[in-house]
Structures are given as structure tokens and as C-alpha cells.
């Protein structure tokens, strides 16, 4: 009898630990999405350094990595975690997929222990690379510093040739970082935890087969708002 009681208690303890681990993972992913929205809004709140609204209307996808290059990541070689979103056939932003960025020899041109990074995916080549198992910036797709300012002319050869346009900010300052060699990797484990079933980034971003979750709705609404501003202002 005692052995049976102990077995039940052990199993209950294991179940409790599993539940706590899952809850922690869910909270971490919700926090990652929340941080991504804050980073986007803060960068867009600086008119002289913001992403041109035209790019939101024209791009294929966007990847946001808050707090990249923390000291622990530098020592360990893993630089950051973030989220990726793409548009559906109607030009509306779809559900969130998770991604990591690391590797390569990044050259910081301005100091700072943490950098917020936004990558704007402009063309099909950039999108295809983003969905590969390991997408190396500079090798699999050209990456360039993006034009800045809400009214900046984004209709340049730069946006056509570069598969990825990069924006970064370090502790409130706008930083330039060399991204060639950095690798973007699908975080399908996080995708599965977040959606409660096995999900790949391709299924989320291309097939749009995932349901938009409550914790990502604010980020998606924010992107839809920025994407609508340029057509409303220009009539295009």
C-alpha cells in the first residue's frame, strides 16, 4: 500500500514539473512576442531612424530579434531569439513563427551589451532563404542597411537587390552591425510549444495554417497598421 501511495505521489510530482515547465515555456514565448512589439514601436517612434512605411507595404516578411548580443550570448556563441511574420495573399500579416540568430563574426560599430535587430525581407529569394534550415546572411541573400525615415524614398535599387534590409538599435542608440555570416534558424520546437501541436515555420509563414494566438494579436495589428499607412497616404 505504501509503495502504491509513493508511486502516485512521484507521478503527480512529475506531472506537476511538466506542467510548470510548459507554463514557463509559454510565458517565455509570449514575452518574446511582447518584446518584439515594443522594439518595433520604439524604433518607429524615432522619425529620423524609423523604417519607411513604404517598406511595410512592399515587403514579404519581417523578423524581429529583441536584445541580441547579450554578454552571455557572445560568450556562448548564441546571439538571440526572435519572431518572424509574413503576409497572406491579401497583404495582411499572419501568425507568428519563432526563430534564432547566431554564428558569424558580427562587427559592432557602436558599443552596447544588447542590440535590438529588425530584418525586413524584401523579395522571394530572401523569403526562401528564411525558410531554409540555416539561412546565412550575405551568402544565401544579400543584406544591407535599410533606408531610414518614415517618408524616405524606399523605391531604390537597394530594396530590389537586397533580399534583407537590416535595422538595429543599441540601448537607445542606433547602431550599425555587420551581419554577413550570421545564421537564421527556424525554431520549430518553440513553434510546437506555442501552437500546442507540431508546426514548422513553413507551415506558419507560407501555408498560414496556424491560428493567430491572443498573445500575438497586438503585434500583428501593429504591423497591419504600419502597412496600411503608406497606401492611405499615397493612394497606391
pLDDT tens-digit series, residues 4-26: 544 544 444 544 444 444 555 68
More confident residue, 13 or 165: 165
CA 227 → CA 28, 89, 232, distances in Å?
Answer: 27, 14, 9
pLDDT, tens digit (0-9, with 9 covering 90-100), for 56-94? 988 999 999 987 764 444 444 447 899 999 998 889 999
d(Cα 196, Cα 24) in Å, to the nearest integer?
14
User: Does residue 187 fall inside a structural domain?
Assistant: yes
Query: Which cell numbers hold the place of 93?
Result: 500579416
Position 49 confidence tier, pLDDT thresholds 50, 70, 90: confident
More confident residue, 172 or 12: 172
pLDDT value for 19: 42
d(Cα 43, Cα 47) in Å, to the nearest integer?
8
**Domain extent at residue 175:** 26-234
d(Cα 84, Cα 95) in Å, to the nearest integer?
9
User: Does residue 18 fall inside a structural domain?
Assistant: no
User: Does residue 16 fall inside a structural domain?
Assistant: no
User: Does residue 13 fall inside a structural domain?
Assistant: no
Percent of the residues in the chain that have a pLDDT greater than 90, as a whole number = 32
pLDDT, tens digit (0-9, with 9 covering 90-100), for 177-222? 666 667 888 899 999 999 999 999 999 998 888 999 999 999 999 9
SS3 92: coil
d(Cα 69, Cα 64) in Å, to the nearest integer?
14
Q: Do 203 and 186 contact (CB within 8 A), yes or no?
A: no
Percent of the residues in the chain that have a pLDDT greater than 70, as a whole number = 64
pLDDT value for 158: 53
Tell me the whole-structure pTM to 2 decimals.
0.79
User: Does residue 4 fall inside a structural domain?
Assistant: no
Mean pLDDT of 87-111: 76
User: Does residue 172 fall inside a structural domain?
Assistant: yes
User: Does residue 5 fall inside a structural domain?
Assistant: no
- In the chain, helix, strand, coil percent, each to 5? 45, 25, 35
CA 208 → CA 25, 114, 197, distances in Å?
Answer: 23, 32, 15
Q: Phi first, then psi: give them for residue 132, nearest 5 degrees.
A: -80, 165
User: Does residue 137 fall inside a structural domain?
Assistant: yes
Domain count, the chain: 1
Amino acid at each position: 500500500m505504501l509503495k502504491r501511495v509513493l508511486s502516485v505521489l512521484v507521478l503527480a510530482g512529475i506531472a506537476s514539473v511538466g506542467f510548470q515547465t510548459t507554463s514557463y515555456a509559454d510565458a517565455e514565448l509570449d514575452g518574446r512576442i511582447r518584446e518584439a512589439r515594443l522594439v518595433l514601436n520604439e524604433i518607429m517612434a524615432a522619425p529620423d531612424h524609423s523604417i519607411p512605411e513604404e517598406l511595410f507595404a512592399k515587403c514579404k516578411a519581417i523578423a524581429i530579434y529583441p536584445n541580441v548580443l547579450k554578454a552571455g550570448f557572445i560568450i556562448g556563441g548564441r546571439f538571440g531569439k526572435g519572431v518572424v511574420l509574413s503576409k497572406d495573399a491579401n497583404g495582411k500579416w499572419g501568425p507568428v513563427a519563432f526563430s534564432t540568430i547566431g554564428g558569424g563574426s558580427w562587427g559592432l560599430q557602436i558599443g552596447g551589451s544588447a542590440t535590438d535587430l529588425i530584418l525586413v525581407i524584401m523579395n522571394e529569394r530572401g523569403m526562401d532563404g528564411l525558410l531554409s534550415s540555416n539561412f546565412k546572411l550575405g551568402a544565401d541573400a544579400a543584406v544591407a542597411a535599410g533606408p531610414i525615415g518614415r517618408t524616405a524614398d524606399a523605391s531604390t535599387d537597394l530594396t530590389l537587390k537586397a533580399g534583407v534590409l537590416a535595422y538595429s538599435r543599441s540601448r537607445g542608440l542606433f547602431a550599425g552591425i555587420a551581419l554577413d555570416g550570421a545564421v537564421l534558424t527556424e525554431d520549430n520546437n518553440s513553434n510546437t510549444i506555442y501552437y500546442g501541436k507540431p508546426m514548422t515555420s513553413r507551415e506558419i509563414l507560407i501555408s498560414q495554417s496556424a491560428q493567430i494566438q491572443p498573445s500575438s494579436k497586438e503585434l500583428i495589428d501593429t504591423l497591419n497598421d504600419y502597412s496600411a499607412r503608406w497606401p492611405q497616404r499615397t493612394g497606391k
